[in-house]
């Protein structure tokens, strides 16, 4: 079964997108995901501030 997530409040910080969504248990989660090709950085956080901090400090290993 696939997860049907509806992202809201999406912002870009450099190549990283930060968005808010509700997980399967109805809890609000925040994600940071890099959109650069072959990067693969994507993490979930409980707070928006943590996701934005991860986006600001992310450095792509692939150049």
How many whole angstroms from its chain centre is CA 36? Answer: 13
Residue 4 confidence (pLDDT) above 60: no
The two tokens of residue 23 are: 């997980």
Q: How far apart are CA 54 and CA 28, in angstroms?
A: 18
Q: Is the pTM of this model over 0.85?
A: no
5-60 pLDDT, tens digit per residue, is 688 899 999 999 999 999 889 899 999 999 999 898 999 999 999 999 999 999 98
The pair phi, psi for residue 11, each rounded to 5°, is: -130, 160
C-beta of residue 55 within 8 angstroms of C-beta of residue 32: yes
Half-sphere exposure of 45 (CA within 13 A, CB side): 17
């Amino acid at each position: 079964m696939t997860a049907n997530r509806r992202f809201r409040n999406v912002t870009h910080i450099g190549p990283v997108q930060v968005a808010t969504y509700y997980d399967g248990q109805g809890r609000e989660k925040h994600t940071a995901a890099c959109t650069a090709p072959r990067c693969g950085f994507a993490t979930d956080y409980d707070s928006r501030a943590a996701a934005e901090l991860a986006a600001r400090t992310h450095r792509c290993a692939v150049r």
